[in-house]
Amino acid sequence: MLMEVKKFFRKKILKSNSIFATILAISLFSCGNHSEKSNETSEVVISKIDTVIVDSQNEALFLNWGLSNASLSTDSRFLYNLNIDETSLEIIDLDQVSFVNKIKLEKEGPDGIGNNGRGGIISLNDSLIYFSGYPASIIMTTRGKKSPLLNNLPTLKKKFTDLGKDLLYEKVNPKNLQSIYGILVKFPGLAHELGMLNLNTGDTSRIELPEWENLENFSMILNNPDFYDVYEARIFLKYLNDKVILGTNVKSHLYVFDITQGKLDYVKIENTVTSPERVAKLPKEVSDPDQYFSLWKKTESEITFHEPVWDNENQWYYRLAHVNKFDDDITGYPTPNSADVYINILDKNFKLVSEIPLTQLNTAPSFYFAKDGKLWLFKNIDDEMAFIRIEFRNKN
């Protein structure tokens, strides 16, 4: 991929016109007014915040989905952003903070992505990108060609379907592209298990997730002659540091499967600045839309946890959390008007090191990653791709 991007550059490389705006430099003291408790327990503090705006080179970059279907390259040099409107892959050089290339993808046909990628993409290496999708995910090359690596995935997934469950959220191991992990689910959001399959041998296996039995408390169906909808806890599965990490947006706690040891652990992360999990229980089914939306708003007003990202330079994980704020008179599908945002920092063993209220944000970023020892948070500034970059330091 690096060679392809280098070829794209003009012989005379244009220097990025990115706008660097230092918006804040704060220490723990500046966060202290928000939560005195975090001052007493925090081992890490914020040392600097700035903002960079990507030089789009006059390209209309796809920002409508908040980069929810973007991925950092494995070397952290490039950002790949799937443009749903144009069915293309936008490439941003993060070192230059500039758009550098666009790869046209096919929607239909032998190399067509169909609707794959709408649930996210993942850079696997310099030449392959994973496109999530249903009924099965696919792998595309950075030249826009479909790889045959996952051709038999739909067939193997049916082995789990025969058990009355669907294998969802599946991901391929970047270090072993024949190894697939996913979450087995019985509709609606019940009886979760970790599912594993080998594309070479066709073998499948599964491990129960007993700590997720109460996730059904966060699932609810709206069912009447005019409306049908399902509200569920959001689930994620991702690879980090030879581990498969499973989590939800309703709990801070994580399942961690060590691939090298074949061992699954449930790691409890006891937050103190925020609640470590939601407490509101939802009815399994309602028929009144007003009741449905009211209960939706109630549970979404509690804590929401995001996926962790790894900072290789500092050797810790970042994980955002937020609490939504809603208008009192909201009707229909509830949309928050603001949020309280927090940064949780976990060490390599997932021990909570710091909880830091990020009072400078009033909405939760939809996409973030770690690069150069900083946390990068996406922000749309006047329809331009921008990132708030936060630098941390140890307190002592």
Please, which residues have CB within 8 angstroms of residue 262's CB and are 6 or more apart in sequence?
A: none
The pLDDT of 192-208, averaged and rounded, is 93
- C-alpha to C-alpha distance for 232 and 215, rounded to whole angstroms: 8
Classify residue 228: in a domain, yes or no: no
Domain assignment present for residue 364? The answer is: no
Domain count along the chain: 1
Establish if 183 belongs to a structural domain: no
pLDDT for the residue 308: 98
pLDDT computed for residue 122 by the predictor: 96
The residue among 72, 71, 73, 74 whose CA lies nearest residue 82 is 71
End-to-end CA distance of the chain: 41
| 33 has a pLDDT exceeding 70 | no
Classify residue 241: in a domain, yes or no: no
The 3 state secondary structure assigned to the chain is: CHHHHHHHCCCCCCCCCCEEEEEECCCHHHHHCCCHHHHHHCCEEEEEEEEEECECCCCCCCCCCCCCCEEECCCCCEEEEEECCCCEEEEEECCCCEEEEEEECECCCCCECCCCCCCCEEECCCCEEEECCCCCCEEEECCCCECHHHCCHHHHHHHHHCCCCEEEEEEEECCEEEEEEEEEEECCCEEEEEEEEECCCCCEEEEECHHHHHHHHHCEEEECCCCEEEECCCEEEEEECCEEEEEECCECCEEEEECCCCEEEEECCCCCCCCCECCCCCCCEECCHHHHHHHHHHHHCCEEEEEEEEECCCCEEEEEEEEEECCCCCCCCCCCCEEEEEEEEEECCCCEEEEEECCCCCCCCCCEEEECCEEEEEEEECCEEEEEEEEEEECC
Question: What's at 294, amino acid-wise?
Answer: S
Question: Residue 188 falls within a domain, yes or no?
Answer: no
Range of the domain at 86: 1-15+67-151
Stretch 385-393: mean pLDDT, rounded? Answer: 96
Q: What is the pLDDT of residue 41?
A: 56
Q: Is residue 4 included in any domain, yes or no?
A: yes
| 337 domain-assigned | no
Backbone angles phi, psi at 213, to 5 degrees: -60, -35
CB 303 within 8 A of CB 249: no
Per-residue pLDDT reduced to its tens digit, 269-285: 999 999 999 998 999 99
* pLDDT (average), residues 264-271: 96
Summarize the confidence of residues 296-322 as an average pLDDT: 97
Count other Cβ atoms within 10 Å, centred on residue 228.
9
Per-chain mean pLDDT for the chain? 88
Residue 4 has pLDDT above 80, yes or no: no
Reported as a single tens digit per residue, the pLDDT across 40-60 is 457 888 999 999 999 999 999
- pLDDT by residue (tens digit) across 378-388? 999 999 999 99
pLDDT at 379: 96
The answer on pLDDT for 34 being more than 60 is no
Identify which has the larger pLDDT, 300 or 162: 300
- Lowest-confidence segment of 9-18, 51-60, 238-247 by average pLDDT: 9-18
Average pLDDT over residues 315-342: 93
- Residue from 236, 159, 163, 168 nearest 198 by CA: 159
More confident residue, 173 or 186: 173
In a domain, 212, yes or no: no
Sort residue 354 into left (φ over 0), alpha (ψ -120 to 50) or beta: beta
